Amino acid sequence: MAEKIVVVKNRAGIHARPAALIAQTANKFASEITIERDSFVINAKSIMGVITMAASYNMQLLVKATGPDENEAIEAINTLFENKFEEE
């Protein structure tokens, strides 16, 4: 299992567009990918799951991946967060 703490850096937080980018990116990988906020755990491959997490600006989330490409999956998701979902 690979895991990494990511921070929501875009001011609008995770709304529909970033959620779609996260799910699209996660679906490129064979690994199971989850995102955790407090005790709330969602499947990163589900757009609705990601939206319902209601992650706002500067919030820390834990991304976990388990599978054959777990490290690549974590890095791809982390890159989305680092690039502020290309919104700013």
Q: What is the pLDDT of residues 41-86, one digit of tens each?
A: 999 999 999 999 999 999 999 999 999 999 999 999 999 999 999 8
Give Dmax (Cα) for the chain.
33
Residues marked as catalytic: 15
Looking at domain 2-86, its CATH architecture is 2-Layer Sandwich (3.30)
Which residues, 6 or more positions from 86, have their beta carbon under 8 angstroms from its beta carbon? Answer: none
Which residues, 6 or more positions from 83, have their beta carbon under 8 angstroms from its beta carbon? Answer: none
Residue 41: phi and psi, rounded to 5, are -120, 130
Amino acid at 32: E
d(CA 37, CA 41): 7
Q: What ranges do the domains of the chain cover?
A: 2-86
Average pLDDT over residues 27-54: 96
Q: What tokens does 54 get?
A: 């209601």
